[in-house]
Amino acid sequence: MTVVYLNGKRVDYSDAKVSVEDRGFQFGDGLYEVVRVYEGRFFYLDRHLERLKKGAQEIYLNFDFDIEDLKEVCKKAVADGEFKDASVYIQVTRGAAPRQHNFPEKSTCTWVVIAREAKPQPEEYYENGVSAITVPDERWMRCNVKTVQLIPNCIAKEKAKKAGAYEAIFHRGDIVTEASSSNVFIVKNKKLLTHPANNLILHGITRGVVLEIAEKLGLELEEETFSLDQLFDADEVFLTGTMTEVMPIVKVDGKIIGDGVPGDLTRSIIEEFRKLTKTVNQ
């Protein structure tokens, strides 16, 4: 079952349509968020909506609806579907206007909420780890803005699929940034490294949660750049993301990471993360 709300009103999935001149369709002129729901509890919905608002400021998109109304629609969608575990997709575009590159003087936002039952990753992925490939990061320079223009990410993910890998890890020159739909952490000598939260990566909500977990556990952590060689030489590598959660990587470009199994530090973070999924509701 899929529950859809379009501009604040529930519609049947087959009737959920927008204009052919919607700027999200024609220009990728819009933003999105994906929020996880565990046992009916939203996992940091407020943080997702805060990032959505910040992204709107970055692309000069003025919301003509109340963010609290959007929040309530998300809750209605989950309740309507009677979902326990769900994914909630939120998209806001600048709306429909005659096609021209500059922003229209007047337009009405198109905002959509889609809720459906979540499909968790196979538990064996967390137990045994997964593989990744590396690809050049050919995206624009404002990756911190979560826009719907994701074709470079899609191409990277397709390359990973064709290689039989779970994920594609981006690099700009020799520097690892993030992955096609997740952030990247490495562990070396019990120290965590992840790329700084600047314009070159998305400031992932799960990434932020893991930083908080690391602080709670008293782990040594640095938000600093690291190279491809450091990635290959790491003791542990893991990904973070809303649907990915905390995912151990045991092979990159065919090279074994560490001992070839999820490391102790990664496992401890997974354990703490799962505790939060059983308590957080905001």
**DSSP strands (E only) in the chain:** 2-6, 9-11, 30-38, 41-42, 86-93, 110-117, 130-136, 167-172, 175-179, 183-188, 191-194, 220-223, 236-241, 245-252, 255-256
Is 146 marked active-site? yes
92, 30 in Cβ contact below 8 A? yes
Query: Do 187 and 237 touch, CB atoms closer than 8 A?
Result: yes
Catalytically annotated residue among 53, 75, 146, 216? 146
Distance CA 78, CA 185 (A): 32
Can you state the angle between helices 67-81 and 45-58, rounded to 10 degrees?
A: 140
Could you give the CA distance from residue 60 to residue 94 in angstroms, rounded to a whole number? 10
Coil, strand, or helix at residue 141?
coil
Residues noted as catalytic: 146
